[in-house]
């Protein structure tokens, strides 16, 4: 699956939305990639996760970790293709935490996966959590990097597709300046003042 295939999936499934959106990161954008439109379809999700898994075949990974919510689905299916376990990191009081008896061992080889990257906050939280267990991160897999590659991590990153989607701080948002109402999407609800 090449980047054009991934972007075509978003377009063909009507998962590429335009308007005024408050992103999970707290930033505003005129475009939103509704990954759950893709992830709810097992035939599409399987193609995406199989392609992501190929990036880590031979990496020695023992566990795939994803952040809630979309990362749970992706981690599970990527792990299935790699023949290893998957766990997920839930939102805690300050960052991500493992619950439900999940943990990692020192030196355990881990792949971190996520759906759509804007600022990298969710991935950074999972990196901090994995590092707190002294596990070894072998790479990061993304469905879509909407930062255009601007967000960097100190590990190999494999994104199925990369786009440069504009986003703004609320104070600098041209859509807010025009008085256009926004739609809040995503699983992490932001307080709006």
Could you tell me which residues come within 8 angstroms of residue 117 by beta carbon, excluding any fewer than 6 positions away?
123, 142, 144, 145, 146, 147, 151, 159
Alpha carbon distance 139, 126 (integer Å)? 12
User: What tokens does 168 get?
Assistant: 């703004």
Question: Taking 80 as the threshold, does the pLDDT of residue 185 lie above it?
Answer: no
Question: Within 10 A of 174 (CB to CB), how many other CB atoms are there?
Answer: 12
Instruction: Give me the domain span that covers residue 124.
Output: 3-184
Q: Give the model confidence (pLDDT) of 86-101 as tens digits.
A: 999 999 998 999 999 9
CATH classification at residue 73: 3.40.50.2020
* Residue 125 domain flag: yes
Q: What is the pLDDT of residues 136-153, one digit of tens each?
A: 999 999 999 999 999 999
Helix axis angle, 42-54 to 3-12, nearest 10°: 160
Q: Does 190 reside within a domain? A: no
Please tell me the total count of domains within the chain. Answer: 1
- Evaluate whether residue 54 is within a structural domain: yes
pLDDT tens digits for 98-125?
999 999 999 999 999 999 998 899 999 9
- DSSP, res 160: S
């Amino acid at each position: 699956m090449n980047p054009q295939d991934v972007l075509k999936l978003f377009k063909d499934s009507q998962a590429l939305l335009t308007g005024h959106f408050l992103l999970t990161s707290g930033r505003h954008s005129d475009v939103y990639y509704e990954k759950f439109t893709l992830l709810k379809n097992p035939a599409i999700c399987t193609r995406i996760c199989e392609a992501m898994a190929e990036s880590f075949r031979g990496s020695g990974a023992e566990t795939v970790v994803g952040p809630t919510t979309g990362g749970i689905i992706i981690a599970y299916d990527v792990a299935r293709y790699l023949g290893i376990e998957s766990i997920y990191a839930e939102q805690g009081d300050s960052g991500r935490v493992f619950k439900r008896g999940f943990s990692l061992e020192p030196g355990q080889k881990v792949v971190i996966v996520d759906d759509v990257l804007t600022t990298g906050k969710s991935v950074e939280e999972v990196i901090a959590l994995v590092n707190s267990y002294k596990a070894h991160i072998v790479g990061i897999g993304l469905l879509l990097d909407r930062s255009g590659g601007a967000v960097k991590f100190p590990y190999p990153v494999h994104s199925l597709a990369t786009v440069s989607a504009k986003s703004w701080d609320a104070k600098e948002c041209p859509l807010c300046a025009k008085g256009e109402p926004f739609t809040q999407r995503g699983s992490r609800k932001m307080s709006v003042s």
